[in-house]
Amino acid sequence: MNHVRRSRLFGKPKAYKGVFLLGLLLAALLATLFVRRPWLIQELDHLVYDTLLRTMRRDPPPSNVVIVDIDEASLRELGQWPWPRYQLAFLVKSIASAQPQSLSIDMMLSEVDRTSLVHIREDLERNLGMTLPLTDIPADLMDNDRMLAQSIKHAPSIMGTWFSFEDADGSVGTPCSAPPVNVVFLRENERIPLPEFPPATSMKCPNAQLLQSAHSIGFLNSIPDSDGRIRRMPLLISMNGGIYPSLALATTLFDLKTNEVFVKVSPAGIECVRIGQRSIPTDRAGNMLLRFSGPGNHFQHISAAAILRGEVSSELLKDKVILLGTSATALRDVQYTPFEKAVSGVELHALAMDMMLRQEYLHSPSWEHGAQWVLALVLGVLVAAGVARLSLVSCAFWCGSAGGLSWFGSQWLLSQKGVFISPVPALSALAVCFVLLTVLRFWHEERRAGRNARALAAAQSYAIGSLTSLAETRDPETGRHIVRTQLYVQLLVKRLARDKGFRKVLPPEVAELIPQCAPLHDVGKVGIPDCILQKPGKLTDEEFQTMKTHTTLGYEALRKAHTFSPSQEEVPFLELACEIAYTHHERWDGKGYPRGLKEEAIPIAGRIMALADVYDALTSKRCYKEGFSHERALEILTQGRGTQFDPRVVDAFLAESAQFETVAKKYADT
């Protein structure tokens, strides 16, 4: 049994053509299924992408992107949010005076500022009938929104907008008055369909005064993956036939002084977004993968309060790409990323802007699915070939090596080339193919092992029958002796196998083999001279000594039979046959032959055979004696308990004595 298991794990198997062909079909099906990204594969994709990102963590060099932060310190100093718009106007004016490259405002300012003096006067007149005399105040100071609009107009500013995709009534709203970008699609031929950007149903914009003063607008939306984490950012969103840029893309367009975006399209989807000489690689849906460098803030944060106090050198802001946003806990737009569970939205927009400035991108190319399908198919075919032709340990080693190469190849592409080709479909196809084909091969081997076992059992029976027939031709007294003793042995083995004391020495496989080998106990008699073997009378002492050698002759003959086997593994059948032939004339008290073994030094098969052989000798008729009755044989065997025979074997005989008598009568010599 151990040999069979070991050969399955380490031995070279017979080629399984059916397993290989089925493996080819299975590999093709799995490759096609997994590349289509079922739910589980998507989740594994996210997990693998996050793991690979962590392996390429690095400290990025200083960035040209600076965040002006309405932080907790600013709120403590200047009061709770929302601040009066004139306060924001002073902040924007202070930033603009430092001559930044651009100022992107990462906040929604949709409603009018009700704290403006003009609105306070209107409210007092409408609600309380009071007239507030404000004749001495300049008109520019009466409206906070107007003050902020003037500051925004004189700054290189980009305002934030927000798109909604699921209006309750299903209607489509009106977009902001700001014009969309001019998108030019680049495709090889007209048969390639134009891509569809995420279609929004409504658009939330800054109030009219602020929107008219801004130089450009960009949406603040980010689209989480199915697990709620942000790994990519859309660059373009469509609404009412117009296409609008993200805040990062709008900032880049403003810096390059253009409103034209080129979108390269292939049959697989979007390949990249081009602005002038800059090319931003995207996934097939037009999203830009974010290149996270690890947890924590990676951009310079300057407190808004410090700028208003005039404590910030203009050199820190000059020619910088400024993002005005907030990290205050109660105000910030919290997002989840592969590294952190709480990241402010302004950090994500800063990251996108920084990637565009450095032109350092990660991307999933349009040919990703094709490469994954080929890799999954190749690995599936390798598994099929390995399971069909190699040992399972060798196959597992090579499959593990192939899977490791796929993993490290994906890691190398991401870290060195910025290209993400997920190894998940290929590794999943490899694992599923290996498990299913291994189960199929084991089932195939079980069937073949069953056929071989039946053939081996038949061969053993033929061998035993042949040797037994040979013994019968030499000893005319053998007759049905072999049949009877085999049945006696079977009765004793069944009884003893149920005894707790014999379970270790009589496991099921041994208990099954002992009765099969019992007919060979006297095979050594073929080497005894006819004058002794066929003598009708009592043997002399010298003749008896010669007769006793049949135990040794039988043992030697069966032992030498093993040398004809091409394998040097142990053969339980021959081992038991040798034990029975060699020890069935040993005695419990050590006075037997040929070795004078005593008690449990005698193999259990020899002890069982000894009693069965003596019982048959006592009850059978011979040329030199009449057979004893069953009762007389019972007495003699009982007297030999603890001297000639193992006491527990005698006890088993006594328990089965009725069955012994039945066998003796049924197969008596005629």
Q: What value does the mean pLDDT take over residues 468-476?
A: 58
């410090």: which residue's tokens?
306
Determine the Cα–Cα distance for residues 46 and 227; give it in Å rounded to an integer. Answer: 8
* Residues 135-153 pLDDT 10s: 666 667 778 889 999 999 9
- Among all chains, which residue has been given the structure tokens 């380490």? 10
The confidence band for 210, taking pLDDT boundaries of 50, 70 and 90, is very high
Residue 9, pLDDT score: 41
Whether residue 459 is predicted with pLDDT greater than 50 in this model: the reply is: yes
Tokens of 452: 């071989």
Kindly tell me if the per-residue pLDDT of 12 is higher than 50: no
| Closest CA relative to residue 307, chosen from 530, 151, 478 | 151
User: Which segments within 580-650 are labelled E, that is strand?
Assistant: none
**Residue 140 Cα to chain centre, angstroms:** 67
Q: What is the DSSP letter of 417?
A: I
Strand residue runs (E) in 332-444? 334-335, 343-344
Q: How many CB atoms lie within 10 A of CB 565?
A: 10
pLDDT digits (tens, 9 = 90+) for 558-571: 888 766 665 555 67
DSSP strand pairing (343-344 vs 278-281): unpaired
Cα distances (angstroms) measured from residue 624 to each of 108, 122, 474, 617: 121, 142, 18, 12
Task: List, for residues 388-417, the tens digit of each pLDDT value.
Answer: 888 888 888 888 999 999 999 999 999 888
The residues, ordered by sequence, that sit 6+ positions from 330 with a Cβ below 8 Å of its Cβ are 81
How far apart are alpha carbons 270 and 272 in whole angstroms? 6
Position 54 scores a pLDDT of 85
299: Cβ contacts below 8 Å, ≥ 6 apart: 63, 65, 66, 67, 347, 350, 351, 354
Is the CB of residue 430 less than 8 Å from the CB of residue 383? yes
With a pLDDT cut of 70, the percent of the chain lying above it is 88
Peptide bond into 224 cis (omega under 30): no
549 has pLDDT over 60: yes
8 A C-beta contact, residue 281 and residue 230:
no
pLDDT attached to residue 475 = 57
- What are the angstrom distances between the C-alpha of 453 and each of 446, 466, 509, 576? 10, 20, 13, 18
Q: Do residues 489 and 609 make contact, with C-beta atoms less than 8 angstroms apart?
A: yes
What is the arithmetic mean of pLDDT over 435-454?
78
Of 31, 105, 35, the C-alpha closest to 67 is 105
Asked if residues 152 and 95 have their Cβ atoms less than 8 Å apart, the reply is no
Arithmetic mean of pLDDT over the chain: 85
d(CA 490, CA 666): 16
pLDDT of residue 191: 87
**65-79, 452-466, 477-491, 510-524 — which is least confidently predicted?**
452-466
Picking from 378, 366, 387, the residue whose alpha carbon sits closest to that of residue 409 is 378
Q: Is 314 helix (H, G, I), strand (E, B) or coil?
A: helix
Q: Rounded to an integer, what distance in angstroms lies between the CA atom of residue 616 and that of residue 660?
A: 9
Higher per-residue pLDDT: 614 or 296: 614
Query: Residue 625 class from Cβ within 10 Å (0-12 exposed, 13-18 middle, 19+ buried)?
Result: exposed
User: Is 211 a residue whose pLDDT tops 70?
Assistant: yes
* φ, ψ for residue 610, nearest 5 deg: -60, -45
Closest by CA position to 606, among listed 586, 625, 635: 586
Q: 247 near 160, Cβ under 8 Å? A: yes
- pLDDT reported for residue 10: 37
Nearest to 420 by CA among 357, 348, 366, 349: 366
Identify the burial level of 661 via C-beta atoms within 10 angstroms of its C-beta, where 0-12 means exposed, 13-18 middle and 19 or more buried. middle
Beta bridge partners of 409: none
With 90 as the cut, is the pLDDT of residue 272 above it? Answer: yes
Q: What gap in Å lies between CA 176 and CA 353, rounded to an integer?
A: 23
- 647 pLDDT more than 60: yes
**SS3 for 628?**
coil
pLDDT band, very low/low/confident/very high, at 16 (cuts 50, 70, 90): low
- For residue 662, give every residue at least 6 positions away whose Cβ sits within 8 Å of its Cβ, in sequence order, or none: none
Mean pLDDT over residues 521-529, rounded? 84
Q: Is 90 exceeded by the pLDDT of residue 105? A: yes
Q: Which residues contact 402 (CB under 8 A, 6 or more apart)?
A: 379, 382, 430
Q: Is the pLDDT of residue 198 over 80?
A: yes
Confidence at residue 3, expressed as pLDDT on a 0 to 100 scale: 40
As a whole number of Å, the CA-based R_g of the chain is: 47
Spatial distance between the Cα atoms of 390 and 384, rounded to a whole number of angstroms: 10
Does residue 650 carry a pLDDT above 70?
A: yes
What is the structure's pLDDT at 616?
92
Q: Which of 133-137, 195-199, 407-411, 620-624 shows the lowest per-residue confidence on average (mean pLDDT)?
A: 133-137
Instruction: Identify the band that residue 8 occupies on the pLDDT scale cut at 50, 70 and 90.
Output: very low
- How wide is the angle at C-alpha 293 spanned by C-alphas 292 and 294, nearest 5°? 100
**Among 103-112, 116-125, 314-323, which is the least confidently predicted range?**
116-125
C-beta of residue 103 within 8 angstroms of C-beta of residue 158: yes
For residue 122, which amino acid is it? E
State pLDDT tens for residues 348-376.
999 999 999 999 899 888 788 888 888 88
> Span 70-85, mean pLDDT?
88
Instruction: Tell me which amino acid residue 49 is.
Output: Y
Tens-digit pLDDT profile for residues 146-190: 999 999 999 999 999 999 887 645 555 567 777 899 999 999 888
Q: Are 265 and 195 in contact (CB under 8 A)?
A: yes
pLDDT, residue 11, reads 42
Of 355, 190, 200, the residue nearest 289 (C-alpha): 355
What is the Cα–Cα distance from 512 to 493, expressed in whole angstroms?
9
Mean pLDDT of 600-604: 94
Alpha-carbon distance of 615 to 648, in angstroms, equals 16
Contact 46, 227 (CB under 8 A): yes
Mean pLDDT of 295-310: 88
Instruction: Give the mean model confidence (pLDDT) for residues 328-355.
Output: 85
* Residue 71 clears pLDDT 80, i.e. is over it: yes
The residue-averaged pLDDT of 61-79 equals 90
Give the Å distances, CA to CA, from 465 to 454, 458, 469, 535, 663: 16, 10, 6, 25, 20
When pLDDT is averaged across residues 314-321 and rounded to a whole number, the result is 94
